[in-house]
Structure 1
Amino acid sequence: MKLYKVIVALLIATTLLLSGCAEQNSEEDMVTEEMGADDMEAEEMNIVETAVAAGSFNTLVTAVQAAGLDETLSGEGPFTVFAPTDEAFAELPEGTLEGLLEDKEALTSVLTYHVVAGEAMSGDLSDMMVLETVQGEEVTIYITDGNVMVNDANVVQADIETSNGVIHVIDKVILPPSMTS
């Protein structure tokens, strides 16, 4: 009887432990699940195909297509893309996204501010590193206690390798300084 109680107690403890771990899914874990790694390796797809397959970058893909940048970001590269999620776009002030979609020049400026020529893996980044974007202005990388930020956006998943570069998922749309002053 004692052995039965010990086994039941172990089963209950294991169940509680596993359910506690499941509840601790971070945004990074959720984005990883959405990346569709089972369907096709991201390394075999280009940046645009990877973003489409992920399912969490619908707004970004729509904006990239509206700006006519989908061919460029599907091209040879390599590129580093700091990719805001759909949730990041939803956090923009009301009317901002709609205004950008109506102004191709401004939209292109914002989108290319999220792209750096070349492949910058997370191991290549350092605190206070300044990178020139394809748009022409610079972003600054901040690293504190293992947390990486691009300007004021958190990197929630790094190093998604594609056939023509790398994607780092960020939790905020970053705007070029020339548009915020």
Structure 2
Amino acid sequence: MLFASTHTQAQGQATLMEQLIKDRPVLVELVTAAGLVPVLSGDSPHTLLAPPESALTGLKGESPEKLRRILSGHILKGKYTEKDFKDGAQVKTISGESLHICRKQGHTLINGVRIVQADTELSNGVLHSMSDALKI
């Protein structure tokens, strides 16, 4: 017998964590080790600036504290679509770091790292795929 989920998903959309499980195994492993699964699977909206898997493989085996510090610097409280990132603006991560936004030649850069796939809207936030890990 199947049990109905107690959480209803907005328009059938996955959570940030469910989306990562589909195609980001290295990021899922690191987020889990860092203890950030509740942040990315909860009801509060967040924006994830997801580095490519290739930029994360070197972090395997790091301490949970270091992983939490690094990955928290890639998560913003609230939903931010690419158009919300205004040139010259600063946004704060959940770790309290300030990230600098730069818009040039049709691209959005966050701390000098380009958004390569923007605005994957999910039930509890927005996922932006980045060209590299953020320099914080």
Report the counterpart of residue 3 of structure 2 in structure 1. none
Match among 49, 52, 63 for residue 21 of structure 2: 52
Is residue 35 of structure 2 the alignment partner of residue 73 of structure 1? no
Counterpart amino acid of residue 87 in structure 1: S
Q: C-alpha displacement at 1:149, in angstroms?
A: 0.9
CA distance in 2, matches of 1:43, 1:126: 30
Conserved 8 A contact 1:42-1:161 = no
Instruction: Provide the aligned C-alpha RMSD in A.
Output: 1.8
CA distance in 1, matches of 2:51, 2:73: 12
Report the counterpart of residue 110 of structure 1 in structure 2. 70
Please identify which structure carries the higher strand content. 2
Conserved 8 A contact 1:42-1:162 = no
Counterpart amino acid of residue 174 in structure 1: L
Q: C-alpha displacement at 1:43, in angstroms?
A: 6.1
CA distance in 2, matches of 1:161, 1:152: 23
Counterpart amino acid of residue 61 in structure 1: V
CA distance in 2, matches of 1:166, 1:42: 14
Task: Please list the CA deviations of residues 25-82 of structure 1 after superposition, one character each: whole Å capped at 9, or x if unmatched.
Answer: xxxxxxxxxxxxxxxx9961000101111x1x22111100111111221001200110
User: Identity over the aligned pairs, expressed in percent?
Assistant: 32
CA distance in 1, matches of 2:91, 2:13: 26
Report the counterpart of residue 61 of structure 1 in structure 2. 28
Conserved 8 A contact 2:111-2:135 = no
Poorly superposed stretches of 4+, deviation over 6 Å: none
- Provide the TM-score with structure 2 as the length reference: 0.86
Report the counterpart of residue 122 of structure 1 in structure 2. 82
Unaligned stretches of 5+ in structure 2?
1-9
Is residue 52 of structure 2 the alignment partner of residue 89 of structure 1? no
- Provide the TM-score with structure 1 as the length reference: 0.65
CA distance in 1, matches of 2:80, 2:53: 23
CA distance in 2, matches of 1:42, 1:62: 27
Q: C-alpha displacement at 1:153, in angstroms?
A: 1.3
User: Aligned pairs, how many?
Assistant: 127
Counterpart amino acid of residue 47 in structure 1: L
